[in-house]
Amino acid sequence: MRRTALARWAVVGAGFFLFGNLYAPQPLLPELERGWRAAAGAAGPGMSAPLAGIVFGSLFWPRLRLRAGLSLAVGAAGVGLFGLLAAWAPGPQVWAWLRLAQGVFLAAVPGTALALLPGLFGARAAAAAGWLVAANTLGGALGRAGAGWLAAAWGTGPALALLALPLAGLAWALWPLEGRFSRGEVRLAGGAWPLFLLGAGLLFANLFVANLLPYRLEAAGYGLAGVGAVYLAYGGGTVGALVAGTLAAARGELSAGLLALAAAAAGALLLSGWPLAGFALMLAGLFGLHALAGSAAGRRGAGVSGAYISSYYLGGALAGLLYPVFLGRFAQALGLVLALFALMALTLPAALARGRGPGR
């Protein structure tokens, strides 16, 4: 019984470990490239590859209709295994393939977790979506910061390997979870395309800026530990995700979403002069909106939540491919992000509209 209760809460907290591992290399990108004797930006495909794996895997895993605990545990174990291998990759090409495998396994978790929340938490499912996204962002922040600190002390390989080890414990915690999705729950309901477009824009903006920051910060004189510390700004995303549910209950989802998007735009405007504060505010808005959109996807069933996660990470994969073009052109990069926010505002009413779930 105790282990089953642990599995229930492990669904909410899984992203703390998974995304801490997935994004840990971000502050180390210039150092990794130097270690491989590769050109600046050569690590870009390795940052896109796991997101591409999530794009395809998020559509694939729910349709296997495996027992929930088995699917989630295999996903967590696979991320840890390939994370260990990637820590010692000899070059950017091998690293990218190993990171792709990480993404395919990680895809077993996010969409499945969102779709499980209504059954696990009932009326608290929307709040649980905020907790889940908060755990993701906190893990991402500490994983990035921890990678910078550990790499400064022991090097990039040991740092990334150490951050992969806790995933074995996560797999053990998730294993007992019972239940599986029905055929109706994995169907892709119509009318959800605005939600998918919104999801793609959210992670594109996040990772496009996050991938550019270490180059800009190094040029400003930051060391590895200092660059890693700036990624503690992801704590702002944790706060934003938790606040979004409260605002939605008080003002409605659309009002909460517009406020979150306004915060993201204000943060982007602050990035040039105050990178830590600006990045934290931008992430608070983006992850608050992600919590709202994830809740909207989860109540429409596993098919929609899987497709939402797929579109979300497709946006992140595109960011990893595009950011090298903007190295040394930070002002133009911010202009692109602000234009994207304006387009996202147009999709918001349709994206957050209450759709009909499977069988309802």
pLDDT digits (tens, 9 = 90+) for 95-114: 999 999 999 999 888 777 77
Q: What is the pLDDT of residue 273?
A: 82
Q: Quote the CA–CA distance of 210 and 316 in Å, as a whole number.
A: 10
- Per-residue pLDDT tens digits for 164-186: 999 999 999 888 777 665 544 55
Tens digit of pLDDT for each residue in 142-152?
Answer: 888 888 889 98
- Using CA atoms in the order 67, 69, 72, 78, what is the torsion angle rounded to 10 degrees? -100
Residue 4 has pLDDT above 70, yes or no: no
DSSP string, 241-299: HHHHHHHHHHH-HHHHHHHHHHHHHHHHHHTTT-HHHHHHHHHHHHHHHHHHHHHHHHT
Residue 356 has pLDDT above 60, yes or no: no
pLDDT at 123 over 90: no
pLDDT of 187 reads 57
The mean pLDDT value of the chain amounts to 84
- Of 27-31, 221-225, 272-276, 291-295, minimum mean pLDDT range: 221-225
Query: Long-range pairs for 116-123 at CB < 8 Å and ≥24 separation?
Result: 116/11, 116/68, 116/177, 116/179, 117/11, 117/12, 117/298, 118/298, 118/299, 119/179, 120/8, 120/11
User: For 4-17, what is the mean pLDDT?
Assistant: 79
Segments making up each domain of the chain, as ranges? 2-351
Tokens of 34: 């130097």
Rounded to whole angstroms, how far apart are CA atoms 344 and 34?
37
Residue 296 has pLDDT above 90, yes or no: no
Residue bearing the bigger pLDDT, 134 or 356: 134
Are the C-beta atoms of residues 91 and 141 closer than 8 Å to each other?
no
Q: With pLDDT > 70 as the criterion, what percentage of the chain qualifies?
A: 92
> pTM for the complete prediction?
0.74
What is the per-residue pLDDT for 205?
A: 95
Report the pLDDT averaged over residues 273-280.
88
Residue 191 pLDDT greater than 90, yes or no: no
Residue 188: pLDDT band with limits 50, 70, 90: low
Tokens at 19, concatenated: 């995304």
Residues 6+ apart with CB under 8 A from 327: 40, 41, 212, 215
Amino acid at 312: Y
Q: What is the pLDDT of residue 65?
A: 72
Fold of 2-351: Growth Hormone; Chain: A; (1.20.1250)
Residues 315-344: tens digit of each pLDDT: 988 888 888 899 888 899 999 999 999 999
Structure confidence at residue 270 (pLDDT): 93
Tell me the average pLDDT across 75-103.
94
Give the whole-angstrom CA distance, residue 12 versus residue 24: 20
Structure tokens at 149: 């600190």
Contacts for 309 with CB less than 8 Å, ≥ 6 apart: 54, 58, 107, 110, 111, 114, 199, 297
Per-residue pLDDT, averaged over 280-306, amounts to 85
Q: How far is residue 240's CA from residue 283's CA, in Å, rounded to a whole number?
A: 8
| Whole-number pLDDT of residue 224 | 76
- Would the pLDDT of 359 be above 50? no
- Long-range CB pairs of 212-215 (<8 Å, 24+ gap) are 212/323, 212/326, 212/327, 212/330, 212/333, 213/275, 213/279, 214/26, 214/27, 214/28, 214/29, 214/30, 215/29, 215/30, 215/40, 215/327, 215/328
